[in-house]
Amino acid sequence: MPNSSIPKHIALILDGNRRWARQHKLEVIKGHEIVADKVIENLVENCIDRGVEYITLWAFSTENWKRDQSEVSGLMDIFRRGLARSAERLHKKGVKINVIGDMSRFPQDIQENAKKWIADSENNTRITLTFALNYGGRDEILRATKRIVEKAVSGEIKVSEIDEELFSSYLDTASLPDPDLLIRPGGEQRLSGYLPWQTTYTELYFTPVLMPDFDAAELDKALADFSQRQRRFGG
């Protein structure tokens, strides 16, 4: 039975990995590896146990390409191996894998792996796990707008037909409900362009806990906070 005190869809920003690594006197990439190898799978299982139906993780932004090349290369290796291992295990547990963002900038093998995760798990129903890869909210809106303009120019759609519903159908998240709760670990209190169209009425939860330390207890704190919110949706 649906529980209105539990968010149907959680969006989460994977923040604080580098600071965690520095605090532990490790290479920066180790923070990302911990999240990929240990945190994500446990987080997804915890969400399943609590009745969450969708979780969307911002794992790589359009701005992340500006980071030190060694870190970017390390993240590509994580997407090749770490996330691939997690995706395989989660698929076997009935998790549906999804990807949003502009994957065209990634190496071809990573693009192909992402397509494989999606295809292999498309009939799974326990929870939908979406990775936001090379994702930026403004980039998503621009890409959607260009596609709509092209179809309007070609006569496939009329300008009078363009409304919120149609626009949403051209976004990366067309198959997903808008998030009920957005969680940002790491202490920053901003969205940084994460799902700007979709989070108009999303409840926001910020915590100083760094992502590698975000465990079941921290998830429960966020859910407890969410359960106390009164959602009015502008009413």
**pLDDT of 224 above 80:** yes
pLDDT digits over 94-110, tens only?
A: 999 999 999 999 999 99
The tens digit of pLDDT for each residue in 146-167 reads 999 999 999 999 999 999 999 9
Instruction: Tell me if residue 15 is catalytic.
Output: yes
Q: pTM for the complete prediction?
A: 0.94
Cβ atoms within 10 Å of 82's Cβ, excluding its own? 19
The answer, yes or no, to whether residue 1 has pLDDT greater than 50, is: no
Residue 234: per-residue pLDDT:
66
Q: CB–CB of 129/97 below 8 Å?
A: yes
Rounded Cα distance between 108 and 119, Å, is: 17
Task: Write out the CATH class of domain 9-135+179-227.
Answer: alpha beta
CA distance linking residue 205 with residue 138, whole number of Å: 22
Could you tell me if 179 and 11 are in contact, meaning their C-beta atoms sit under 8 angstroms apart? yes
Amino acid 83: pLDDT:
73
For the segment 39-48, the average pLDDT, to the nearest whole number, is 96
Angstrom distances, CA of residue 138 to CA of 83, 96, 143, 144, 199: 25, 26, 9, 10, 13
Considering Cα of 72, then 135, then 79, then 44, what sign does the dihedral take? positive
Q: Render pLDDT for 172-208 as a digit per residue (tens, 0 to 9).
A: 999 999 999 999 999 999 999 999 999 999 999 999 9
At residue 93, the pLDDT reads 94
Pick the catalytic residue: 64, 124, 215, 225? Answer: 64
- Mean pLDDT score across all residues of the chain: 94
3 is catalytic: no
Q: How many percent of the chain have pLDDT more than 70?
A: 97
Q: Which pLDDT band holds residue 231 (cuts at 50, 70, 90)? A: confident
Reading across the β-sheet that carries 181-184, which strands appear in turn? 95-100, 127-135, 54-61, 9-13, 181-184, 203-206
What is d(CA 111, CA 140) in angstroms, rounded to the nearest whole number? 18
Q: Is the pLDDT of residue 81 over 90?
A: no
